[in-house]
Amino acid sequence: MNENQQSLLLESAARFPPPKGVRLSYGTAGFRADASLLESTVFRVGILAALRSLKTGSVIGLMITASHNKVSDNGIKVADPSGGMLTQDWEPFSDAIANAPDPHSLLQLITEFVKKEEIGFEGRQPAAEVLLGRDTRPSGEALLEAAKQGITSIIGAIGTDMGVVTTPQLHWMVRARNGGLEASESSYFHQLSTSFRCLMDLKPEGISKNGNDATLLVDGADGVGGEKLEQFKKMLAGLCIEVRNRGDGILNEGVGADYVQKEKVAPRSFGSADTGLRCASLDGDADRLVYFSVLSNENNKIELVDGDKILSLFALFIKEQLSILNEGEDKKGNDSYQARLGVVQTAYANGASTDYLKEMGLEVVLTPTGVKYLHEKAAEFDIGIYFEANGHGTILFSEAFLCWLETSHKTLLSTSEGSVKQKAASRLLAVSQLINQAVGDALSGLLLVEVILKYMGWSIHRWNELYHDLPSRQLKVKVVDRTAVVTANAETVTVQPIGIQEAMNAEIAKYPRGRCFIRPSGTEDVIRVYAEATTQDAADALASSVARLVDQYLGFGSS
């Protein structure tokens, strides 16, 4: 780094002093905190993004969002060249720079890192480019400006503002740009609507309707997703959507996928008049999706169709298309390809879903919470489907498989156009275009759910009958220091504080099919508790007793 670069960094960093007495850390999906604490962090992550762009020679993305968190929070997520989350190798550096106390120590960390990573400052013009996006939070505009100043404090780096977008749209744009395609909202809508139409045209004739032609009601969480879907729905012939909670109310307050999934109640603006209808809920930045149906008999209670059920629906559909393609093929023949289909879940996956997926003969892998972990595992399969129970997930297709699929599809078109095999190949190709392979995307996920339901001729209730969830309960406990909880084996075992796992085991043993784990949240300052058992009362009791243990071991001593 030359002198000009060093003094530019010192000068700009002086304008963004870090808040006193606060330590921020890179969590499940980037930094997240009260928005008033974040200016210096996003400025510094702007520098990191510019360096990442220099290092990789590719466009990087920065999204200002706190997703499902309350409206006064904000945060920043980084998209790597593939459109996926920032490589985990760079997380320690992001932690270090976020907490550097002054411009000189910041400069020193950057200088050492640039040297270690052998980041060159000469080359193409512009030397680095970062696409910036933000959700609808009021603090977003000022934070985006701080991030931009971070980016431009690396000489030759530019920040391109993509405006108010969903997180998955920004990740998609980064992936598109690095793949030589146009990165705009209109190209995103075009790709999704074209592949959606293709799949709708390929649905079998004469399937029973089973009520799935009725309007889909969508809870937009009063965030960016509702706004975008309202715009986009006009391009979706054959699908009738009514979007509620489009931004008039408070973001994520009594609305959104996180609220619906965790509380298992209908969001604001949904009620008994909607009983039995097919409903979906997006989260604050539209990277999560859950479905639900309002129950008639109980106030605000819902039948929840969560990420595990979305995963199961996708797995069923993909498996069926693959077996159509492979029917009658000589397994050793050149034309067949035994694609490895695998699914990835976390400890939050309902035990019944994992049993169901295994009974389908699928390989099921468990990772810690956070799409960065699930995505990485799913990429090891030819077709990897990953979903968290909270509705965050997608499908990844390997390049080798897509290459084979494209060639087979061409051959089938010339030899047997209109055959069941050709249609199965077309469907899989269309799914690879519709689904956002950069990151979980509520909008593209929703369209895929809708076409599969049409294909199957299923109602939401028939879909929900795939298997019966074990009753579960999630709680959060405020503690003095959440980093005191250390877990292992994909968060299924707590190794610290010492003794708590044994105490939890004693509680779990009281309930048939009891299962429970705790973990520190990476997006909120709490410990999360998950419990499941054969009855709701048992799951509730198990969760409460373990929450009390957490409080005894680590809390403020309230119980």
Contact residues: ligand G16, CB under 6 A: 28-29, 67-68, 283, 287-288, 369-371, 388, 390, 392, 521-524, 528
Using the minimum distance from each CB to ligand G16, give the nearer residue, 372 or 409.
Answer: 372
Pairing of strands 383-387, 527-532: unpaired
CA distances from residue 388 to 157, 327, 367, 370 in whole angstroms, order as listed: 36, 32, 10, 8
Residue type, 368: P
Structure tokens at 202: 């390929």
519 is in an annotated binding site: yes
Using the minimum distance from each CB to ligand G16, give the nearer residue, 374 or 383.
Answer: 374
Q: How far is the CB of 127 from ligand G16 (least distance, A)?
A: 30
Question: H helices then E strands: how many in the chain?
Answer: 18, 19
- The helix/strand/coil state of 172 is helix
Q: How far is the CB of 509 from ligand G16 (least distance, A)?
A: 26
Using the minimum distance from each CB to ligand G16, give the nearer residue, 31 or 317.
Answer: 31
Rounded Cα gap, residues 25 and 482, in angstroms: 12
Rg of the chain in Å (alpha carbons): 24
Active-site residue, 432 included: no
Q: How far is the CB of 286 from ligand G16 (least distance, A)?
A: 9
67 is in an annotated binding site: yes
Using the minimum distance from each CB to ligand G16, give the nearer residue, 129 or 376.
Answer: 376
283 is in an annotated binding site: yes
Rounded Cα gap, residues 56 and 132, in angstroms: 17
346 is in an annotated binding site: no
Using the minimum distance from each CB to ligand G16, give the nearer residue, 193 or 523.
Answer: 523
525 is in an annotated binding site: no
Q: How far is the CB of 433 from ligand G16 (least distance, A)?
A: 23
Q: How far is the CB of 371 from ligand G16 (least distance, A)?
A: 4
CB atoms within 10 A of CB 481: 10
340 is in an annotated binding site: no
Annotated active-site residue in 12, 40, 67, 195: 67
Query: Are 284 and 302 in contact, with CB atoms under 8 Å apart?
Result: no
Query: Are 417 and 206 in contact, with CB atoms under 8 Å apart?
Result: no
521 is in an annotated binding site: yes
The residues, any chain, with a CB within 8 Å of residue 277's CB and separated by 6 or more, are 214, 215, 217, 293, 294
Residue 83's H or E segment, with its range, is none
CA distances from residue 379 to 84, 206, 327, 382, 394 in whole angstroms, order as listed: 11, 36, 26, 8, 11
Q: Which residues are part of a known binding site for substrate?
A: 388-390, 519-523, 528
- Tell me the binding residues: 67, 283, 285, 287, 388-390, 519-523, 528
Catalytic residue numbers?
A: 67
Residue positions forming the annotated binding site for Mg(2+): 67, 283, 285, 287
